[in-house]
Amino acid sequence: MFDVFDLELHHLGTDYSFATQLQQTGYSHRFIVNIQDCTFHFEPDDEGNYRAIIPYGADEKAYMKTDPGLLSAVAEKIREILT
């Protein structure tokens, strides 16, 4: 079992708190973040930046309603936490 923690950030004048879970996957890791009732996986790329990934089999229409700027803010917050 993995512990869930709150990822808190401020974006465009609004404070957010998202349920987040760190998950080890082989030699890497990913953060599973629940944003507006959609679960996104944030994984590091080759440059050390985090990208949001929609889980396989998810209803893509629901995910496309999420603000891309908010996803970028979450990715940046994850990077901040780890540095």
Residue carrying the six token digits 């979450």: 74
C-alpha torsion 45→38→73→6, nearest 10: -100
User: What pTM was computed for the model?
Assistant: 0.89
Segment 8-65, tens digit of pLDDT = 999 999 999 999 999 987 888 999 999 988 999 999 998 889 999 999 988 888 888 8
d(CA 21, CA 24): 10
| Residue 2: pLDDT band with limits 50, 70, 90 | low
